[in-house]
Amino acid sequence: MIFSRSRGFVDAGEFQRLAESCVFIPGVGAIGQSLLQNLVRCGVGRFIIADFDTFSSENLASQVLCTTASLGRSKVSVARDFILAVNSSAQVQTYAAEWSEAATLENILKQCDVVLPGIDALGPGMLLYRASREAKVPIVDFYFAPSPNVFVTRPGDPTPEERLNYPSLGLGWEQIDKPEIAQDCLLRLSAYVLGVLPSMKFERMALYRFLNLELVPAWAPLISAAAALMSEQAISIILKRPNVTDYRGFFLDLTDFTSKRAPAEFSAREQALYERLKNFAAQPAEAVGESWFTVGEL
């Protein structure tokens, strides 16, 4: 039996529930590939995956399904082949960019038990949260941060867009990736994350480029750790196990290996950090430098 060594973590009835479950992973880049690798090996039986991209050489450093043999191939086709190579009984449904069409997304969400986003574009991400709330499907996600973390947004919970006061509120999702809106969302997200991790060190130029929509950093160990946390939370939801992770989430602070709980909302502390980050991002690139710093030194 494929999953015989997993007994003790799940029982026979739970194995059956996993085999009958369906997960939706829109975006099978770095985090999405690590998620599906974990979940297929845990016995999840149905996957709906979506991505329009192909593998390129820059993916070799951070995406577990990317090899020199897969360069140029569609990410969803490689992901589908991997899932079926592990478990030939699994069912895999694939989409490209059309997953975001209203009728298609509604149909997808009707089928799945949990959503695990692997999207790095804000507009489609906000669309997913809005549609999942309407469909009453929980989302297991992570904050873009230099530390493993996870949060779970259940039906009725406030979304990140609402909690962090994103300027996208009230806008159509196609408008959210406009540079001025996307940048303000990233500034607010970064202020929230930095407030939780005040002792973490950051490389100045990398943060500057991220805040100016020029770079999305990817680090393989961090991706694997975040995907492990997300996978465990998704399995808990599928199996209806007790679960203390909520829409705020938890961070593992790598400076002292303690767990930090994120705040419920964007407070005065985060607002002050937001203003400092906004000034930091507005300066000319030649003034930034390449040293490392903590948020207190910003």
Structure tokens at 117: 């986003």
In a domain, 193, yes or no: yes
> pLDDT digits over 230-263, tens only?
999 999 999 999 988 999 999 999 889 999 999 9
Question: Judging by DSSP bridges, how do beta strands 91-95 and 114-115 pair with one another?
Answer: unpaired
In a domain, 194, yes or no: yes
Q: Is the pLDDT of residue 93 over 90?
A: yes
In a domain, 1, yes or no: no
Per-residue confidence (pLDDT) for residue 228, from 0 to 100 = 97
DSSP string computed for 80-136: HHHHHHH-TT-EEEEESGGGGSHHHHHHHHHH-SEE------HHHHHHHHHHHHHHT
What is the rounded distance in angstroms from the CA atom of residue 92 to the CA atom of residue 39?
13
Q: Looking at residue 22, which CATH number applies to its domain?
A: 3.40.50.720
In a domain, 292, yes or no: yes
State the Cα angle at 149 between 12 and 122, rounded to 5°: 105
What is the rounded distance in angstroms from the CA atom of residue 123 to the CA atom of residue 148?
23
What is the rounded distance in angstroms from the CA atom of residue 21 to the CA atom of residue 234?
11
Q: Which of 271, 224, 274 is nearest to 252 (CA)?
A: 224
Domain containing 219 equals: 10-297
Structure tokens at 84: 């079926």
In a domain, 5, yes or no: no
In a domain, 4, yes or no: no
The predicted model gives 189-205 an average pLDDT of: 91
In a domain, 2, yes or no: no
- The conformation of residue 263, written as its DSSP 8-state character, comes to P
Per-residue confidence (pLDDT) for residue 293, from 0 to 100 = 85
Q: Is the pLDDT of residue 54 over 90?
A: yes
The predicted model gives 256-285 an average pLDDT of: 94
- Hey, which residues does 152 pair with through a beta bridge? 140
Write down the mean pLDDT value for the chain. Answer: 95
Hey, how many other C-beta atoms are within 10 angstroms of the C-beta on 9?
Answer: 11
Structure tokens at 26: 């829109």
Q: Is the pLDDT of residue 22 over 90?
A: yes
Per-residue confidence (pLDDT) for residue 202, from 0 to 100 = 85
Per-residue confidence (pLDDT) for residue 243, from 0 to 100 = 86
The predicted model gives 47-65 an average pLDDT of: 97
Total-model pTM: 0.96
In a domain, 16, yes or no: yes
> pLDDT digits over 95-136, tens only?
999 999 999 999 999 999 999 999 989 999 999 999 999 999
Count how many domains the chain has. 1
**How would residue 6 be classed by pLDDT, with cut points 50, 70 and 90?**
confident
The mean-pLDDT minimum among 227-231, 248-252, 294-298 falls in: 294-298
In terms of C-beta density within 10 A (0-12 exposed, 13-18 middle, 19 or more buried), how is residue 15 classed?
buried
The mean-pLDDT minimum among 64-68, 227-231, 246-250, 294-298 falls in: 294-298
